[in-house]
Structure 1
Amino acid sequence: MTNLDIVKSTYEGKTSAENGQNLQRFITDETLWTEAAGFPYAGTYKGFADIEKNVFARLRSEWTNYNFKVEDYVASGNKVIAYGTYSGTYNATGQAFSARVAHLWLLEDGKIKSFEQFVDSKTVLDAM
């Protein structure tokens, strides 16, 4: 698989469970995952268990229909950028949002070395 194929597999599976399995398959204990400053889950997490606990578990429990619709990808060497739009409804307020976003992935030897999120956090926070 190319680096682009790996990243696509984490977004374009038949189900979100498949996307999660593909993500876990390519993450190592050393993978760094950075959620943008100002985003509700801001911080850098290391390894799948830390990422799952601090990001994905919260997205599943706090939001309805939280989604990232990928518009396109840009790939060059060990870097892949996916960009598009987040959307969802925050359970506690019932407020929906839409926010532009880009994800920068760095890969090495067929594994995800790091992930960094760039997002318009204000629209997310307004929904919360």
Structure 2
Amino acid sequence: MTDSPDIALVRRFYASGTAPEVTAEILAPDIVWDITPGFPNGGTHHGSDSVARDFFGPLRPNFEAFGPVPEQFYTDGDHHVFVLGHYHAETKRGITADVRFIHLWTVRDGKLARLVQAADSHVLRQALNG
């Protein structure tokens, strides 16, 4: 079965590794980035500039490697894409963790307009504090 255009867009985001040239093209400038409270830099970020500066900016220095590994994609046919997967993380101290997540994406006008994330924040916090 061929991916829907919405799933293809979300797959492109993950495949890009958040490359700036790709995110500039596919993230809506007014994206809402809603991250589980308790997750590093959790809360709601408004706009792609805030996502880069206030979520990813402080997150990356804590890790040698950090990235999502999407495993399953589903769509409701109404411009929502659900992704099950895990983050693979390696802290600066060499501690590794695999942290399960679910992402709910909303696509608007061919761009990613909203992310709602739920993740096992406890596992990631243990890795960072361990």
TM-score when scaled to structure 1?
0.86
CA deviation profile, 1:40-67 (whole Å, cap 9, x unmatched): 1111111111000122222322111112
Tell me whether 1:55 sits opposite 2:55 in the alignment: yes
Following the alignment from structure 1 to structure 2, what is the Cα–Cα distance between the partners of residues 53 and 45? 10
CA deviation profile, 1:61-119 (whole Å, cap 9, x unmatched): 2111112111110112210011111121222x432211111111011111222101110
Counterparts of 1:39-118 in structure 2 under 5 Å? 39-76=39-76, 77-91=78-92, 93-118=93-118
Following the alignment from structure 1 to structure 2, what is the Cα–Cα distance between the partners of residues 72 and 21? 25
Match of 1:124 in 2: 124
The counterpart of 2:6, out of the listed 3, 8, 33, is 3
Following the alignment from structure 2 to structure 1, what is the Cα–Cα distance between the partners of residues 115 and 47? 11
Count of equivalent residues: 124
Following the alignment from structure 1 to structure 2, what is the Cα–Cα distance between the partners of residues 17 and 95? 23
CA contact (8 A) 2:41 2:59 kept: no
Which structure 1 segments of 5+ residues have no match? Answer: none
Letter in 2 for 1:42: G
RMSD: 1.7
Distance 1:120-1:23 versus aligned 2 partners, 3 A rule: same
Letter in 1 for 2:12: S
TM-score when scaled to structure 2?
0.85
In the TM superposition, structure 1's runs of 4+ consecutive aligned residues that sit over 6 Å from their partners are none
Following the alignment from structure 1 to structure 2, what is the Cα–Cα distance between the partners of residues 22 and 8? 12
Corresponding residue SS for 1:101: strand
Corresponding residue SS for 1:102: strand
Q: How far 1:29 moved relative to its partner?
A: 2.8
Following the alignment from structure 1 to structure 2, what is the Cα–Cα distance between the partners of residues 45 and 33? 5
Corresponding residue SS for 1:10: helix
Q: How far 1:17 moved relative to its partner?
A: 5.5
Corresponding residue SS for 1:30: strand
